[in-house]
Amino acid sequence: MAPRPTRMPTLYLSHGAPPLADDTRWTRELADWSGGLTRPSAILVVSAHWEDAPLTVGATADGVPLTYDFWGFPQRYYGVTYPAPGAPTLAERVRDLVTGPGETLHQDPDRGLDHGAYVPLREMYPDADIPVLQVSMPTLDPAELLALGRRLAPLRDEGVLIVGSGFTTHNLREMSRQAHGEAPSWSVEFDDWVNRAVADHDVDALLDFGHKAPAAAIAHPRSDHFAPLFVALGAGLDGHRSSQSTVDGFWHGLAKRSFQFD
């Protein structure tokens, strides 16, 4: 009999634009983070950069090109590769967990991993030898995403690493051009509030972050980069409800705060 897979945590990480991969501090933090985790059997990613309703599964075949969903960057960022194996078995498990009788799971077989998935994964699992599946974010509603995470939670006991990929503060219009470590007050205040709410396991406050968090409307003019937190949080509620902040600091004024839910 095969050994039972190790129960995996769930992650919310701030992935940044492709140039964040040039930040050696961030890449080292991600490498150290993954180095402390049990090797997953597969990885399931919900990224801020793919919204599609109903829930849609991306490519499950090997060799599907990445989705370079950004513009105006130097050409070298469009030559990045991450040939991780497809995860058709995981896609079937997702279908079992999120669809009801008579329902089908939508699939986009031509959609490869976007930069919210492959940019951090290249730093965490550079050998690209773990099957990866990306699914769409079907809504920005925090409560619905929390419920989605709860439905996906059984995957944790199957060795699957569930990753919500966004950015703890994300306002490109207000993005600071100052040096690393210097950040505007709205970004600092929101980041601190989120860190404390997660540490206190205050799920109700997080769900109502638009009203409860300081500077929420500035930190997230649109909540697409904060929304993946709720998938990771929902899946993480199926356990001991312990959490830790694994990455902190700022990149051009935006909070890189990331969390692990055990």
In this structure, how many other beta carbons lie within 10 angstroms of the beta carbon of residue 169? 30
Asked if the structure places residue 3 within a domain, the reply is: no
Q: Which two tokens stand for residue 171?
A: 């306002």
Q: Which domain holds residue 71?
A: 10-261
Say what the pLDDT of residue 70 is. 85
* pLDDT higher than threshold 90 for residue 73: no
Banded model confidence at residue 18, pLDDT cuts 50, 70, 90? confident
Asked if the structure places residue 4 within a domain, the reply is: no
Mean pLDDT of 160-185: 82
Q: What is the CATH number of the domain that holds 204?
A: 3.40.830.10
What is the number of structural domains in the chain? 1
Distance in angstroms (rounded) separating the CA atoms of residues 162 and 166 = 13
Mean pLDDT of 27-41: 97
Q: What is the pLDDT of residues 193-237, one digit of tens each?
A: 999 999 999 999 999 999 999 999 999 999 999 999 999 999 998
Chain center to CA of 227: 9
Q: What is the pLDDT of residues 99-154, one digit of tens each?
A: 987 778 999 999 999 999 999 999 999 999 999 999 999 999 999 999 999 999 99
- Closest to 5 in 3D by CA, of 152, 158, 153: 158
Asked if the structure places residue 247 within a domain, the reply is: yes
Mean pLDDT of 51-68: 95
Distance in angstroms (rounded) separating the CA atoms of residues 28 and 120 = 11
Asked if the structure places residue 1 within a domain, the reply is: no
Say what the pLDDT of residue 5 is. 77
Asked if the structure places residue 124 within a domain, the reply is: yes
Say what the pLDDT of residue 180 is. 54
Asked if the structure places residue 5 within a domain, the reply is: no
Distance in angstroms (rounded) separating the CA atoms of residues 152 and 97 = 6
